[in-house]
Amino acid sequence: MASMENEIAHDFSPLLKVYKDGRLERLTGTATVPPSLDPRTGVHSNDVAISSEAGVSARLYLPAKPDVTTDLTRRVPLLVYFHGGGFCVESAASPVYHNYLNSLSSQGSIFIVSVDYRLAPEHPLPAAYEDSWAVFKWALNHSDGNGPNEWLNSRVDFGRIFLAGDSAGANIVHHMALRAGLQGLPAGANLKGIVLVHPYFWGKEPIGAEANNGAAAGDEAHAGVLWKFVYPSSENGSDDPFINPNMDPNVGKLGCGRVLVCVAEKDGLKDRGWFYSQVLKKSGWGGSVEVIEAKGEGHVFHLFNPNSHNAGVFMTQICNFINQ
């Protein structure tokens, strides 16, 4: 008979496993890389502490300066990015996100603030939301040019702010935009749009193909079960407004004018992305929402296969959305 230390209480592969003795084994997302001057793109990254007490930080990505034929004082859009990983794995220092955001910053000429929020289960939700809002507010504090970070003060156009994230990070994007709409932003700061990549939403009632395929967050960790694990104090489970925007009476109060929802044909969460767009259209929100679907691809394919043709097309679509 297996000892308790090897008995599994929760198996959320390929994200993590929890053993009956309380031990936690993260199966992915634990590797990290330091900030750097990326020789491939010329993007310079740096880490900043937002709250040393809570352990909240961010990684900043400064695109290479324009060449001498362009205006050296030209400011670039600000993108605040929230990584995925089911709220329980990955970080802003993860190699997959570091490499992706180097490329995104370079191709789109975008200043990026990549949020490093605390992870469940050590820090169950809503910790990730509060951390993400703290970083967003920290970035906004530079909108008058007098913030603590000179990169943000001198290079960012705060009239062109965007939020983006994948999976759990896309879920956070929605709630940050909603909070911006409800609480407002500082003078001179304009949240133009948000990008939700393969968003991690759910609900008690199956929609679309969910009833047949047992959709997953990631690969095999069922979305509803994982939600209960990362947010055990939620009173409404999978119909909590944090995971099911359709249950939120404030869903139509997003503080931006444009939304891009990205779904993938073979992603079990695809129907939730489409449903989210429908919820917004019916909510009374006055902005525009667009959905793009990557044919033949699965959940966060662009991170796993960044050099593929479809990943390249996808990055161009996001850059165009931000720079149009």
Residue 172 has pLDDT above 90, yes or no: yes
What's the chain's length in residues? Answer: 324
Would you say 111 and 78 are in contact if contact means Cβ atoms under 8 Å apart?
Answer: yes
Pairing between β-strand 56-62 and β-strand 111-116 as defined by DSSP bridges: antiparallel
Residue 296's identity, in one-letter code, is G
How does residue 216 score in pLDDT terms, banded at 50, 70 and 90?
very low
pLDDT at position 68: 47
C-alpha separations of 209 from 171, 224, 242 in Å: 20, 15, 22
Task: Determine the Cα–Cα distance for residues 200 and 125; give it in Å rounded to an integer.
Answer: 14
pLDDT at position 221: 42
Average pLDDT, the chain: 93
- Give the residue numbers annotated as catalytic, written as ranges: 167, 267, 299
- CATH no. for 33-323: 3.40.50.1820
How does residue 132 score in pLDDT terms, banded at 50, 70 and 90?
very high
Q: What is the pLDDT of residues 299-316, one digit of tens each?
A: 999 999 999 999 999 999
pLDDT at position 54: 84
Task: Determine the Cα–Cα distance for residues 303 and 198; give it in Å rounded to an integer.
Answer: 12
The first and second tokens of residue 145, run together, are: 């040019």
Would you say 51 and 65 are in contact if contact means Cβ atoms under 8 Å apart?
Answer: no
- Candidates 163, 171, 127, 157; CA nearest to 269 is 171
Would you say 217 and 200 are in contact if contact means Cβ atoms under 8 Å apart?
Answer: yes
Residue 141 has pLDDT above 50, yes or no: yes
Starting at the edge strand found earlier in the chain, the sheet holding 288-294 runs 44-51, 56-62, 111-116, 76-82, 156-166, 191-197, 258-264, 288-294
How does residue 318 score in pLDDT terms, banded at 50, 70 and 90?
very high
Phi, psi of 204 (to 5 degrees): -70, -35
Would you say 18 and 6 are in contact if contact means Cβ atoms under 8 Å apart?
Answer: no
List the domain boundaries for the chain.
33-323
pLDDT at position 220: 37
Residue 92 has pLDDT above 50, yes or no: yes
Lowest mean pLDDT among 64-78, 272-286, 304-318: 64-78
Lowest mean pLDDT among 65-74, 193-202, 203-212: 65-74
Lowest mean pLDDT among 23-32, 48-57, 154-163, 253-262: 48-57
Q: What is the pLDDT of residues 235-251, one digit of tens each?
A: 999 999 999 999 999 99
How does residue 219 score in pLDDT terms, banded at 50, 70 and 90?
very low
Q: Which residues are within 8 A (CB) of 116 and not within 5 positions of it... i.e. 6 or more apart?
A: 56, 57, 58, 59, 91, 92, 93, 135
Give the mean model confidence (pLDDT) for residues 75-99.
98
Three-state SS across the chain?
CCCHHHCEEEEECCCEEEECCCCEEECCCCCCCCCCECCCCCCEEEEEEEECCCCEEEEEEECCCCCCCCCCCCCEEEEEEECCCCCCCCCCCCHHHHHHHHHHHHHHCCEEEEEECCCCCCCCCCHHHHHHHHHHHHHHCCCCCCCCCHHHHHHEEEEEEEEEEECHHHHHHHHHHHHHHHHCCCCCCCEEEEEEECCCCCCCCCCCCHHHHCCECCCCCEHHHHHHHHCCCCCCHHHCCCCCHHHCCCHHHCCCCEEEEEEECCCCCHHHHHHHHHHHHHCCCCCEEEEEEECCCCCCHHHHCCCCHHHHHHHHHHHHHHHC
How does residue 281 score in pLDDT terms, banded at 50, 70 and 90?
very high
pLDDT at position 74: 84
Residue 73 has pLDDT above 70, yes or no: no
pLDDT at position 248: 98
